[in-house]
Amino acid sequence: MIRELRAFGGWLLFAVYVYAAYHLAVLPLAWTDGFAGLAVAAAGTVGLLGLAPAEARRRGIAFAFLVLFADRALAATGLYPAAARVALAALVIGLTVLVGRAAGRLPAPALLALAAAAALSTAIDRPDAKLLGRFLPPVRTPALYGAGTIDYFPLFLDPDHPGRVVTFGNREEVPPEGKEAKDAAETGGDAGPEGEATRLALARLAPERLYVYAFDTEGGTFRRVAVPDAEVARWFEKLRNDFPGYPFFTVEDDGTLRPLVTRDAWAETLFDFGRTFGALLRLDALHLRRPIAAPDVGGPFAGLRLTGEALEGTFDGRPFRLPTDATAVVGRFSLGGEAALVLQGRSLEIAVFPKGGAPRVSHRLSPASIPDIYASEVIPVQFSDGPALLLSFPTDSPERAKIVRPEPDGSWRLLFEATDPLFRFEDVRYDGAQAVLLALAPGRLSGYPQRLLGEYVYENGRLVRLWQAPTSLINVRYLPGPNGTWRLVATEYPNHRLVLLTPHPLPVGAMIAAATGLIAVGLLVRRLRDGRVPQDLTPDRSAQDGSAFRRRAGAVGLSAAVLFAALLAGAAFPVVLRSTPSARPPGVLPSVAAAGADGGAPAANLPAAGEPALDLSAEQAPGAGRAGAAGPATGAPEAEAPIEGAGTETPAARAPVDARAAFRAALAGSEGEGADRFQVVGYTRNSVHKRKTTSMVSGAVVRPERLFGGMRLAGTPYRYYRSGDVRYLWTARTEWVPLPPADPPALFRSLEALMPEFAAAERLPDDDVLGLPAKVYRIRVNGETLFRLAGIAPDDAAFRAFAALPATITVKLLDDPARIGEIEGRWLVPVPGAGYALQEVFFRFFHYGDPSIAIRPPEDIERYLAP
């Protein structure tokens, strides 16, 4: 009995070792070092197997495989309800034991240990196991938001209450999605006009109430606390500056998330292909109605306010006005012993405030040096040898994270550039005088990159990695604790839950290495003991066994050497993330310092007359490379040369061509005979830093009166149907709902307003649309042209605000017959409190006249209407 208990304990310890080694050593090696890490893990495994006797080797392989199989299978049961989960877990454990007995021929103690280990593994969520090498098991809040309209909410630390985090949601105050409709149906609420009106409002997109969620984290848990009414408005102002759902939603003072469009109206807009451009820009103007709020940066600054043309406020009690086109104040900075502010608009600026002198812009980094600088997220940092800025870029931008330093002569020095565009900085803390950077890096092995959270320190032009842990969290922030301790708080995407990570002091990697060494020593001793030459054998048999002993000793020596080499290679793996010489070598970045003692010439949100605009051509849009030139948009292009090797060289100027005849023929072909039906896919995309809000359409048109589209607005899918004046809207929450009559969309006709612009079009290289050859033209227009497409009058407030806004529109025109294949537009728009946003409109048209395209009559929809 004692012997069997000892055997059970040994097998159970081996199961714990296999579980820990796989999750905390093998997987991290693969994620951080790719195939080289897998080679090290494989070499270590081969070394251990070579030391093990044949029978023990077979059983060990079977046992380890079944431990990992049960772990993976039990994790999959979490997708089912609680009752089914228990039954499925019992089934998985039972099957694992049966396989171990039948195929692995494991002894009874090993089978019991296998069942016990499988049951114990359910105590830790499988995604959390990979974090145990650095942190205690994560602590989570329940889901805080369930409507699905907003992808994620920002996360803030309350400076007035250490250890308190603030975010937003409504899950505790609002029933889960669809519960209202279900309750109304069960009580007959949908039978009357009020119930029908409620369903119509929900289908079209109703306002949604949000609430401030504040949590104290003392004791390593989340405890929700009440927020005084006097502070609620301050937090909603911060949420408004994060622009959730921009530009389709706005946050009001009381926390109401109010839509600026309805689903059916936006569906009609997406089927009015020219109107979409101006309608999107008009939504932007609605966000400019409120003043640009500047954060309270503290220190000697107070009452900061951005007007769109200048920064106003007080410094050391004295009022100031600094001309700038910035629409966001990033934060406070210290430069050469003087107080400074980091400002962001189309360019990144540092405004210095000398005591007793006028403020001035000392450094400016424009799109001519870094094309996506307007989209960067900026974190000021103070290194031991001077200040710097951490720059991170959206995932679809080809720009890579950088560390830049403002130099005394007004230039910028590039200190570091990441090797991967997915690398991004999250936060910074200070260990004494040393800055410790928190960053997310991509893993090496995955079709969908596994993010690796880690800490780094900057040393001599490189980042030295302190540790890494795989995680899919976003908005990761340091949460300071007493006596220099810290924790991490983050948002779990897309579940709208907060996660608290508390580091532990255990050297898990060293412990796994030590356990591996002990197992190797034990196997080595057993192998040598079993290979000893017996004393009572005959001379001939002794000679044979001696030869076998030498063979075993050689195999043991080789296995030990392989194991030692694997451990040595693992310890010697580089932990330094270096900049890529071919991407942009460390060196000096040119800068434009505004002239004049007052900070330079006044700048507005829109380019001044004669000022070159940022080129938003397809070649240099995010994610598409940059063969085209990016105008500096700083007012001093002669001093802002692109960085060598940055990919921003100006192509040879193309002479404009008159493409009106080609465009007129394509319009006529898209509206004429043979184009009575077609399919369309398209989207609008709005990018404000890393937040992206899209609307999409994938549908069909059958003239003269029917259209159908599968739509998506701000992450929520819906369907839209029209046949003459009969209209229906479907959402998962309401099913099909009838809509009141409305004028039909113009389809291609609204694009006729572009005809004058094609008198001076730019001819681009020919391309294709789904395999059909197409001629490509680009026109450079302004906001006035986009508003003409939407039929917006010049006396409209949006027209006045954005009439001079530069934009580009690219079309692909099919031949034989002439039709429009694709149309795409891009422009930058100022976003109050957030910098600038890139907006894109894209449509593709195909299968013109295809007889297989059919849309059902209204009677087929009416069968599904609620009684």
As a whole number, mean pLDDT of residues 236-249 equals: 88
Residue 171 DSSP symbol: T
As a whole number, mean pLDDT of residues 832-856 equals: 92
C-alpha–C-alpha distance, residues 254 and 251, integer Å: 8
Q: H-helix or E-strand containing 468? A: strand 462-470
C-alpha–C-alpha distance, residues 389 and 137, integer Å: 33
Q: Cα 84 from chain centroid?
A: 34
pLDDT beyond 70 at 364? yes
Contact assessment for residue 176 and residue 264, using Cβ atoms and an 8 Å cutoff = no
Sheet containing 360-365: give its strands across: 328-335, 338-344, 348-353, 360-365
Contact assessment for residue 15 and residue 551, using Cβ atoms and an 8 Å cutoff = no
pLDDT beyond 90 at 406? yes
- Of all residues in the chain, what percent carry a pLDDT higher than 90? 40
Q: Cα 618 from chain centroid?
A: 22
Which has more confidence, 20 or 395?
20
C-alpha–C-alpha distance, residues 373 and 363, integer Å: 14
Structure confidence at residue 47 (pLDDT): 80
Residue-wise over 694-717: b if at least 16 C-beta within 10 A, else e? bbbbebbbeeeebbbbebbbbbbe
Instruction: Give the DSSP letter string of 337-361.
Output: TEEEEEEESSSEEEEEE-TTS--EE
Question: Which residues partner with 434 through β-bridges?
Answer: 431
Upper half-sphere CA count for residue 616 (Cβ side, 13 Å): 24
Place of tokens 């149907």: 721
C-alpha–C-alpha distance, residues 270 and 696, integer Å: 8
Structure confidence at residue 446 (pLDDT): 58
Sheet containing 726-731: give its strands across: 735-739, 726-731, 716-723, 706-713, 691-702, 677-688, 835-846, 819-831, 806-814, 772-782, 762-769
> C-alpha distances in angstroms, 593 versus 352, 357, 361, 386, 599?
11, 17, 6, 20, 8
Q: What are 515-537's pLDDT values in tens digits? A: 888 888 888 887 777 654 344 43
pTM: 0.81
Domain ranges of the chain: 2-129+508-573, 660-859
Show the CA angle centred on residue 639, arms to residues 636 and 644, nearest 5°: 130
Among 727, 161, 780, CA closest to 479: 161
Contact assessment for residue 599 and residue 441, using Cβ atoms and an 8 Å cutoff = no
Token duo for residue 284: 């932007």
Contact assessment for residue 733 and residue 176, using Cβ atoms and an 8 Å cutoff = no
Task: Quote the strand ranges of 248-324, DSSP E.
Answer: 249-251, 256-259, 292-293, 301-306, 310-315, 318-323
C-alpha–C-alpha distance, residues 579 and 585, integer Å: 8
> C-alpha distances in angstroms, 767 versus 429, 668, 813?
50, 21, 9
Which has more confidence, 680 or 101?
680
C-alpha–C-alpha distance, residues 844 and 550, integer Å: 73
Q: What are 623-642's pLDDT values in tens digits? A: 333 333 333 222 332 333 33
Report the 10 Å Cβ neighbour count for 619: 16
C-alpha–C-alpha distance, residues 730 and 263, integer Å: 10
Token duo for residue 251: 């946050």
| Summary mean pLDDT of the chain | 81
Structure confidence at residue 712 (pLDDT): 93
Any residues with CB less than 8 A from the CB of 829 and at least 6 apart, and which? 281, 284, 802, 805, 836, 837, 839
Among 336, 417, 405, CA closest to 591: 405
Show the CA angle centred on residue 73, arms to residues 72 and 77, nearest 5°: 115
Contact assessment for residue 140 and residue 492, using Cβ atoms and an 8 Å cutoff = yes
pLDDT beyond 60 at 602? no
C-alpha–C-alpha distance, residues 793 and 260, integer Å: 19
Residue-wise over 256-280: b if at least 16 C-beta within 10 A, else e? ebebbbbbbebbbbbbbbbbbbbbb
Structure confidence at residue 290 (pLDDT): 61
pLDDT beyond 70 at 648? no
Structure confidence at residue 618 (pLDDT): 35
Report the 10 Å Cβ neighbour count for 409: 9
Q: H-helix or E-strand containing 463? A: strand 462-470
Contact assessment for residue 792 and residue 802, using Cβ atoms and an 8 Å cutoff = no
pLDDT winner (highest mean) among 6-10, 174-178, 297-301, 339-343: 339-343
pLDDT beyond 50 at 494? yes
Please give the single-letter amino acid code of residue 292.
Answer: I
C-alpha–C-alpha distance, residues 704 and 676, integer Å: 7
Least-confidence region, from 60-64, 683-687, 779-783: 60-64
Please give the single-letter amino acid code of residue 363.
Answer: H
Q: What are 469-484's pLDDT values in tens digits? A: 888 789 999 998 887 7
**660-859 has which fold?**
outer membrane lipoprotein receptor (LolB), chain A (2.50.20)
The percent of the chain in helix, strand and coil, each rounded to the nearest 5, is 35, 30, 35
Please give the single-letter amino acid code of residue 530.
Answer: D
Structure confidence at residue 560 (pLDDT): 52
As a whole number, mean pLDDT of residues 828-837 equals: 83
Sheet containing 434-442: give its strands across: 424-431, 434-442, 451-459, 462-470, 576-578
Label residue 223 by pLDDT band (50, 70, 90): very high
Backbone angles phi, psi at 365, to 5 degrees: -115, 115
Backbone angles phi, psi at 733, to 5 degrees: -85, -30
Burial class (CB in 10 A: 0-12, 13-18, 19+), 529: exposed
Q: What are 740-782's pLDDT values in tens digits? A: 999 999 999 999 999 999 999 999 999 999 999 999 999 999 9
Q: Cα 311 from chain centroid?
A: 31
Sign of CA dihedral 446, 451, 457, 463: positive
Residue 559 DSSP symbol: H
The residue length of the chain stands at 867
3-state SS class at 814: strand
3-state SS class at 208: strand
Contact assessment for residue 397 and residue 408, using Cβ atoms and an 8 Å cutoff = no
Cα-atom radius of gyration of the chain, to the nearest Å? 32
Structure confidence at residue 831 (pLDDT): 83
Q: Cα 751 from chain centroid?
A: 34
pLDDT beyond 50 at 652? no
Least-confidence region, from 172-186, 203-217, 441-455, 747-761: 172-186
Q: Cα 37 from chain centroid?
A: 26
Contact assessment for residue 495 and residue 489, using Cβ atoms and an 8 Å cutoff = no
C-alpha–C-alpha distance, residues 227 and 235, integer Å: 10
Q: What are 138-195's pLDDT values in tens digits? A: 999 999 998 778 888 999 999 889 999 999 999 988 765 544 444 443 343 444 444 6
pLDDT beyond 80 at 788? yes
As a whole number, mean pLDDT of residues 209-235 equals: 93
C-alpha–C-alpha distance, residues 390 and 438, integer Å: 11
- Of all residues in the chain, what percent carry a pLDDT higher than 70? 81
Contact assessment for residue 472 and residue 494, using Cβ atoms and an 8 Å cutoff = no
Contact assessment for residue 690 and residue 709, using Cβ atoms and an 8 Å cutoff = no
HEC string of 33-53? HHHHHHHHHHHHHHHHHHHCC
C-alpha–C-alpha distance, residues 330 and 306, integer Å: 12
Show the CA angle centred on residue 439, arms to residues 438 and 444, nearest 5°: 140
Token duo for residue 337: 């012993």
Residue 761 DSSP symbol: B
